[in-house]
Structure 1
Amino acid sequence: MSAPDALPQATEYCPTTTMKRLGENNILIVDVRSVEDYSLLRLDVPEQIHIPLEQLEERFTEVPAGRDVIVVSVDGSQSLKATYFLMYQGYTSVANMKMGIRQWLKRDFPVTGDIAAWQQKHPADHSEGCC
Structure 2
Amino acid sequence: MQTSIVVRELCPTSTRQWLKTGAILLDIREAEATEALQFAEGNIMYMPLSQLMERYTEIPVETDVIVACERGVLSLDAAAFLQQNGFDRIYHMRKGLRHWVAKGYPVTGDTGDLPVSHHQCCGGHEHHHA
Using the size of structure 1 for normalisation, the TM-score is: 0.85
**Counterpart of 1:47?**
43
Q: How many angstroms does 1:125 deviate by?
A: 6.3
Q: How many angstroms does 1:45 deviate by?
A: 1.9
Which segments of structure 1 move beyond 2 Å, counting only runs of 4 or more?
125-131
Specify which of 14, 17, 21 is matched with residue 17 of structure 1: 14
- The SS at the match of 1:9 is strand
Distance (whole Å) between structure 1 residues aligned to residue 67 and residue 19 of structure 2: 13
- Higher strand proportion: 2
**Counterpart of 2:67?**
71
**Counterpart of 2:87?**
91
- Structure 1 residues 126 and 46, CA, compared in 2 at 3 Å: closer, same or farther? closer
Distance (whole Å) between structure 2 residues aligned to residue 47 and residue 8 of structure 1: 26
Distance (whole Å) between structure 2 residues aligned to residue 45 and residue 81 of structure 1: 24
- The SS at the match of 1:22 is helix
Count of paired positions:
122
Percent identity for Structure 1 against Structure 2: 34
Distance (whole Å) between structure 2 residues aligned to residue 126 and residue 49 of structure 1: 26
CA displacement, residues 52-87 of structure 1 (integer Å, 9 cap, x when unaligned)? 111100010111111100000001001111100100
Say whether residues 1:109 and 2:100 are aligned partners.
no
- The SS at the match of 1:19 is helix
Say whether residues 1:56 and 2:52 are aligned partners.
yes
**Counterpart of 1:130?**
121
Query: Cα RMSD over matched residues?
Result: 1.7
Distance (whole Å) between structure 2 residues aligned to residue 96 and residue 50 of structure 1: 15
Using the size of structure 2 for normalisation, the TM-score is: 0.86
CA contact (8 A) 1:7 1:88 kept: no
Q: Which has the higher contact order (CA 8 A, sep 6+)?
A: 2
Q: How many angstroms does 1:110 deviate by?
A: 0.6
